[in-house]
Structures are given as structure tokens and as C-alpha cells.
């Protein structure tokens, strides 16, 4: 069914703009989003250091990894990823691809804390809310490190956070996600 997007201009300043978006289907809101835009400007910089992990050159092939995957209960989750094909030089597109990838993987932290996998047939999962902050320009078709951790799980929900780094250690984005993680036994 078609989706109608209502966009409200909340603020238009000299360096910041804010929009509220509501997606409506069948006359009901199915999605809301608050978006802030900022002009590029230079300033002093600081960011958290990237964790010490093996670089992407040491990665095993994805299909080999899946064939040997065993359940683990990690305290945090760090893995390298990138788009499989070149991406046009459009920072908005780069950000959209990163948002999709983080939304797809971040909830895994919650279920892995309990020894479950996304593929478990009795697991019901859904992203409930997801916030992204883009800190510096990056390319989604170059290696990025997702350093993620589960903050808490309770009430069939999990709360996770992540920092995303480039190969040279620049923190380019950070994310928080709350998700449904309901297990149906039997």
C-alpha cells in the first residue's frame, strides 16, 4: 500500500535545520523520524579511540565464517564491513547505507548476550527505535569497524550502542538502538 510522508519544518537556522517526518499508511502513523541537518564547518577535533582489533586484511571470507560460526556470548561486538560494490560519491547515500547496515546488525548484540542467533526460529526481533549521529564524512564502500555492545535487556527489549570507525581510526558515526527480542518457546 502507498505510504504518505508528512514533513514538518521545525527549524531553519543559519547553520542547523530540523525536520519531523511521519510516514502514514492506511491513515495511521507507522514511522516517525526527527532529523537535524548541519552545515559543514571546521573546528577542533577529538574522538574516542578505536578499539584494538585485527584489521580488515585479516578477515576470513564471509561464507567460510558462517560455516564455522559457533555461538559465543561476547561482552561487545566489533566487526569490519563495507559495501560490496562502489557507491556514488554522495554523502547522503553513504549515510543511508550505513544506517541500514547498523540497523541490521546492532540488535544482534542483545540476543548474543543470551546465546541466541538472529536465525533462531523461535526469536522474534524488530527495531523499535534507532538513532544515528554522523560525525565525519566517510565512504560505505571502504572498510568500517562497527564496535557495538549491549547495554541491557529486559521486558523483551534490548538496548544497544555502537561506534563506527574508519580503517585509520577516525570515529565517523555513533548509534543507539532499542529493539524487540521476544523468544517464543515451544
In CATH, what class is 51-183?
alpha beta
The residue extents of the domains of the chain are 1-38, 51-183
pLDDT-derived band of residue 71, with 50, 70 and 90 as boundaries? very low
Tell how far CA 183 is from the center of its chain: 22
With 70 as the cut, is the pLDDT of residue 69 above it?
Answer: no
Whole-model pTM: value is: 0.80
3 state DSSP class of 92: helix
Burial 77-103 (b: 16+ CB within 10 A, else e): bbebbbbeeebeeeeeebbebbbebbe
pLDDT above 90 covers a percentage of the chain that reads 56
- Condensed to tens digits (0 to 9), the pLDDT of residues 12-62 reads 999 999 999 999 999 999 989 999 998 888 888 878 898 888 888 877 666
DSSP-assigned states of every residue in 103-129:
HHHHTHHHHHTTT--TT-TTEEEEEEE
- Condensed to tens digits (0 to 9), the pLDDT of residues 73-103 reads 455 588 899 998 999 999 999 999 999 999 8
Distance CA 88, CA 90 (A): 6
Distance CA 103, CA 33 (A): 14
Identical topology for domains 1-38 and 51-183? yes
- What pLDDT, on a 0 to 100 scale, did the predictor assign at position 66? 55
Q: What beta strand segments (E) does the chain contain?
A: 4-12, 16-25, 28-38, 76-81, 123-134, 144-154, 157-166, 171-183
* Range scoring the smallest mean pLDDT among 57-66, 112-121, 172-181: 57-66
Query: Residues 179, 128: contact at Cβ < 8 Å?
Result: yes
Superfamily holding 1-38: Hotdog Thioesterase (3.10.129.10)
Amino acid at each position: 500500500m502507498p505510504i504518505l510522508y508528512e514533513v514538518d519544518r521545525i527549524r531553519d537556522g543559519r547553520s542547523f535545520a530540523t525536520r519531523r517526518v511521519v510516514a502514514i499508511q492506511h491513515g495511521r502513523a507507522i514511522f516517525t523520524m526527527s532529523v537535524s541537518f548541519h552545515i559543514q564547518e571546521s573546528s577542533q577535533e577529538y574522538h574516542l579511540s578505536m578499539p584494538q582489533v585485527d584489521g580488515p586484511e585479516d578477515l576470513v571470507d564471509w561464507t567460510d565464517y558462517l560455516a564455522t560460526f559457533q555461538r559465543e556470548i561476547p561482552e561487545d561486538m566489533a566487526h569490519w564491513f563495507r559495501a560490496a560494490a562502489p557507491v556514488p560519491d554522495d554523502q547522503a547515500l553513504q549515510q543511508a547505507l550505513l544506517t541500514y547496515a547498523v540497523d541490521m546488525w546492532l540488535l544482534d548484540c542483545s540476543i548474543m548476550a543470551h546465546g541466541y542467533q538472529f536465525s533462531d526460529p523461535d526469536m522474534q526481533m524488530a527495531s523499535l527505535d534507532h538513532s544515528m549521529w554522523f560525525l565525519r564524512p566517510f565512504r560505505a564502500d571502504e572498510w568500517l569497524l562497527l564496535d557495538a555492545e549491549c547495554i541491557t535487556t529486559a521486558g523483551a527489549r534490548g538496548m544497544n550502542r555502537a561506534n563506527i570507525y574508519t580503517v585509520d581510526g577516525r570515529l565517523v558515526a555513533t548509534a543507539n538502538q532499542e529493539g524487540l527480542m521476544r523468544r517464543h518457546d515451544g
